[in-house]
Amino acid sequence: MTLALAIHGGCGTLPKAEMTEAEWAQARSDLASALRAGWAILSKGGAAVDAVEAAVRVMEDSPHFNAGHGAAFNTEGEHELDASIMDGATLAAGAICGAKRIRNPITAAKALMLRGDPLLLAGPAADDFAEHEGVDTVANEHFSTERRRKNLASMKLREIVGTAAEASEAEKHGTVGAVACDAQGHLAAATSTGGYTNKPVGRVGDSPIIGAGTYARDGRCAVSGTGKGEYFIRYCVGHEIASLIAYKGLSLKAATDAVLAELSEHKVGAGLVAVGADGSIVAPYNTEGMYRGWVTEDGLIHVATHDHVELAGQA
């Protein structure tokens, strides 16, 4: 089988002028580190589900992405974290939402997947489960960054003056995710997010919803999405792409393009990464940019934030 690994760090990429070149370089470096972490598992014959967890953990620990450390603030100035993971070989999945103390939500989601039941835990129950399983927990302040504080202040001001709808994707959203195909041909997907800036307390988006922001099924595809979660839930984006492949015989590219086109009709900022049963990779988006990257069959790392894709060395 063709090994495959692709990641995204959210379609809410800042305009180029809003960060220094050094900051952009660090963001691309963190993307490359995430790819190396996942590829190290795949290249040794490891499972796709372990690879996507490893890649997402790296992005959760980076301040450049809206997941884990660097997550968005809700309207009360707190972080509520969502994540899910799915094994395409068995359709096993685990998800947590509204967590406030889990350092790496994707690891808690995977622990829940391995437990088998329930599939989804919310709020304090998710935090307690993680603690019981020995997954690292931290104070809520661990996830805070100065950039996210500025985003919150900006969105609160926009709300007062009535321009919230005009906010950029970078001000509002952001998510991280990974998809993979391993040497046995098994697929997996994982997604993690802090939601959108100034979200209502208790809001849950698509990232922890299996079939919406995360979906993997052997023989079809693995998908991780980013954008306005409410629309990803309404369109069951991950499952829709898999269904177009299975029932209409569309290619991975045709299926993802079709679904993204529907989201674009609603002027919804959206993007995703997906891998097909044959190891093919796509990373479409309709915003100014999307943090993204993938490893090609020769082990070369490709990363991008906007239009230009650059080589980042060997995995």
From first to last of the 315 residues of the chain, give the pLDDT tens digit.
Answer: 699 999 999 986 777 777 788 888 899 999 999 999 999 999 999 999 999 999 999 999 999 999 999 999 999 999 999 999 999 999 999 999 999 999 999 999 999 999 999 999 999 999 999 999 999 999 999 999 998 999 899 899 988 998 887 776 666 778 999 999 999 999 999 999 999 999 999 999 999 999 999 999 999 999 999 998 999 999 999 999 999 999 999 999 999 999 999 999 988 889 999 999 999 999 999 988 899 999 998 899 999 988 889 998 887
Phi and psi at residue 202, in whole multiples of 5°? 90, -5
| Structure tokens given for 271 | 């993007």
| Catalytic entry in 2, 137, 145, 175 | 175
Instruction: For strands 291-295 and 281-282, give the pairing.
Output: unpaired
The answer to whether 272 and 224 are in contact (CB under 8 A) is: yes
Q: Is 175 a catalytic residue?
A: yes
Give the number of other CB atoms < 10 A from CB of residue 84: 34
CATH dotted code for 4-314? 3.60.20.30
